[in-house]
Each structure stands twice: as C-alpha cells, then as structure tokens.
Amino acid sequence: MTETITAHKVQSAAAPPSLGGLGLFTVLLAAALPLIDFFIVNVALPTIGHDLAASESVLELVVAGYGLAYAVLLVLGGRLGDLFGRRRLFLGGMAAFGLTSLACGLAPSAWTLVSARVAQGAASAAMLPQVLATIQAATTGQRRAKAMGLYGATAGLSMVAGQILGGVLVAADIWGTGWRSVFLVNVPVVLVGLFLAVRAVPETRSQHPEPVDGPGTVLLAAALLTLLAPLTEGRAAGWPLWTWLSLAAFPFVAAAFYAVERRADRAGRTPLVPPSLFELVSLRRGLVMIVPFSIGFSGFMFVIAVALQQGAGLGPVGAGLALVPMAVAFFSVSLAGPRLVTRYGTRVVTAGAAVQAVGVGLIAVTAWRSWPDLGLLELLPGAAVAGAGQALQLPVVFRIVLSEVPPARAGVGSGVMITTQQSALALGVATLGTLFLSLVPGVGMRDALVTTLLVQLAGVALTGLLSLRLPRTVG
C-alpha cells in the first residue's frame, strides 16, 4: 500500500502542469491590460494636456514612454520567467502593474505621469510574456490551439476596446477623477487578477534554465531605443540633431546585437534571442507579417482618434463609440477563426487581408464623401468589415509564430513575438501618426485622413502578399 502511494506521488510530481479554464481566463485578463493601456490614453490626451498644462512633446512621452519601456524589456521578461518561474514573474509583474497604474492615476504633474508610465511599461514587460509562455507550457493539442485563438482574439479586441473604454471613462468623470480614471480602473482589475492567479495559474519554468545574457540585453535595448525614441518623439520635438544621430546609429547597434548573439550561440552559451530560433520558418515568416499589420493597426487607431475629436468635433465618447462596430465584428469573427483554420489552413489569413482592405477602403470613401459628419452610423460598414478582416489575421498569425517553439523556450519565443508586435505598434503611431499630423496644416484634416488611410491600405496589401508565404497548416 505504501509503495502504491509513493508511486502515485512520484507520478503526480512528474505530471506536467495544466492550465484550466479559470487559469486561462486569468492569464487572458492579464494579457488584455497592457494592450488596453497602450491605446486607452489616445482619447484622454487632450484632457490630460489641459489639466496638467502639458506640451505636445510631453504628451507624446505619455504614450511613447510606456511603449518604449514595454518593448525594450519584453524579451528580458520572457527570459526571467523561463529562469525563475513564469507564475512568480506573472504575479510580480501584475502587482507592479497595479501599483504603477495607481501612480499614473494620482500623478500631480505631467513629468510624474511620464515617469509612472515608463514604470508601468516595465511592469507590463514582466507580466505579459508569461501569459503566452504559460499557455505554451501548460496546454497541448486542441486545448493549446483554442487557447492561442482566444489569446489572439483578446489581443485584438483589447486594442480596440482600450480606445472605446478611454472615451467612456473620461466623459463619465467618475467621482471627479476625469482622465485619471483610465489608469485607476486597472487597480481593482489587478486585485481580482492576483486573487485568481494565486489559485488557478500553475507554475512552469524551463527544465534547463538559462542565465540572462547581459551584453545581448543591453544591445537589444539600445537598438530598440535608437529606432523608436527618435521616431516617436522626433516630430513633436522638431526633429533635433539627436533624432537623426540616433536613427543613423540604429543599423550599427542592431548589427552589433546580431553579432554578439551569434557568437554566443556558436560558443555554446545562451543568447537573449537565439539566432537558431529564427530557423523556424513559421516563426520567421509570422513575425515578418506582424510588422505591417501592427503598424497599420496602431496608426489607424491614433489617427482616427485625433480626426474624430479635433476634426469631426466628436467628444471622447463619440470618438470611442464610433469604433464599437470594429470591436463587435472582431470578437464575433475571431470565435469562428479556429474552425476556419482547421478547414482552410492559413489561407484564412490571406482572405482576412482582402476583407480588411475592403473595410479600410470603405472608411476612406466615407471620410471623403461625408466629412466632417463622421460618427457611429457613417463609419459602421467600413469599421465592421475591417474588424472582421483583422480577426481573420491576428489570432491565426499568433498561433503560427509559436507553433514550433519548444516549451523550454516558450518564454523567449513569446517575448520575441510580443516585442515585434509592440515595436510595430509604436512605429505605427510614429509613422502614420506623423504623416497625418504633418499633412493636416497643408491639406486639411479630411485629405490628411484619406491619404493616411490609403497608405494603410498599401500596408494591408503587403500583409496579404506576405501571408501567401506562411505554412499552409498550423501546428
């Protein structure tokens, strides 16, 4: 009898961790928070600027400071989860996210808010890679496919919902908090998330933990900063000399990062981003496709928020509600995504790009013909069609990127993917946002909006072409 009990204990100890329904809900809740907070401030920026007497360049930092810290530290966050335990990093990152959200909501000045946003981005970088890594390590087969599909749906919906929620909260002015509520709302959500995570999220870690790659971490951070900092701050700062020097340094820093990582890999050490990871065709081609998709997505969200508030004269609520059809269509279509992929493979992504192109085209035509009378009803057809197209792309591409990554490298794999996405989101605001704001003084708000939408349409066409190179089936 004793031997039977002992054998049972050994078997239980050796059993792989399993992520149940409540645990999946908890990690998806955590996945939504950083993405919502990237977009939630778009419609709150005018109010923040007025209340804190912040200049345009400082307001840019409220967005860019969060995005930069988030992007720079994501891969490191994934590696630390592999090393010290993903549940431990998840809980610590979520607690830090709640505290930094509270600091943002109570910020007495613009620069205090910028500092708190940088810290909030760092907390997000510790928390978010553990979500995908836990899904990869604690699910298998159809359960993993379903979980990855839900993660993609959550990510896409969060990016739209953040802007809608921001508008509603600013206008509601709950207990006189105004714009501060867009940050304070995170605190009770984090408390619920921590309560659930302690009970439902299993601990996972790499079976062969790998030490942190110091030189690689520093060089990756430097490469991302030299690219993203001047692009996000350049226009508002008037393109000073440092922005051009930084952009000129980027290719050299990126080349140094690749050389250091390759040398470490060949010497048998473990680099921060193993070059061998990019030998996986699914990961490499999926990452390439994420870039234009995310640039177009974030650029559109920023531009439409400015155009609807400053050009069409809508308030925060109206600007947010105009995107409801996109959110509803995204959520509804994403639920059917896994079944469509099972039947048609990755050609679903190509079809999604075509559908999104039709939606963006409808929005451009509507803006051209109806300006400045744009609102929920006018934008409904285009926004709904574009949302449906996006839902056929993003969740599937996320699954493709991580489909061949071994569980032992789940943390670094998810970190690389989210870093690529987050960097592209920041680039979208920097490129399409800068294009739009630069055109407005010369051609007016309507023509600037239509031109920017046509540029985004070219990006959608590019994602469609890139999707033809994806593996036909998803593992």
Encode pLDDT of 321-338 as tens digits. Answer: 888 888 888 888 887 877
Q: How far apart are the first and last CA of the chain?
A: 43
Q: Determine the pLDDT at residue 194.
A: 95
Q: Mean pLDDT in each 10-residue stretch from start to end of the chain (475 residues)?
A: 45 62 90 84 81 80 81 82 87 95 93 93 90 82 79 79 78 80 92 93 76 83 87 80 94 92 81 82 88 89 85 79 86 81 85 94 92 86 93 85 76 79 83 86 90 93 89 71
Closest of 19, 393, 338, 459 to residue 196, by C-alpha: 19
Of 272, 221, 23, give the one whose Cα is nearest residue 137.
Answer: 23
Residues 124 and 89: beta-carbon distance below 8 Å: no
As a three-state string, the secondary structure of 295-342 is HHHHHHHHHHHHHHHHHCCCCHHHHHHCCHHHHHHHHHHHHHHHHHHH
Burial annotation 445-455 (CB, 10 A radius, 16+ → b, else e): bbebbbebbeb
pLDDT of residue 49: 86
> Residue 12: what pLDDT?
42
| pLDDT on residue 327 | 85
How many CB atoms within 10 Å of residue 4?
8
How many CB atoms sit inside 10 A of residue 82's CB?
31
* Exposure class string for 370-406: b at 16+ Cβ within 10 A, else e: ebeebbeebbbbbbbbbbbbbbbbbbbbbbbbbbbbe
Rounded distance between C-alpha atoms, residue 93 and residue 122, angstroms: 8
The residue assigned the tokens 């239509």 is 450
In 3D space, the residue among 125, 119, 128 whose CA is nearest the CA of residue 101 turns out to be 119
DSSP string, 116-142: HHHHHHHHHHHHHHHHHHHHHHH--HH
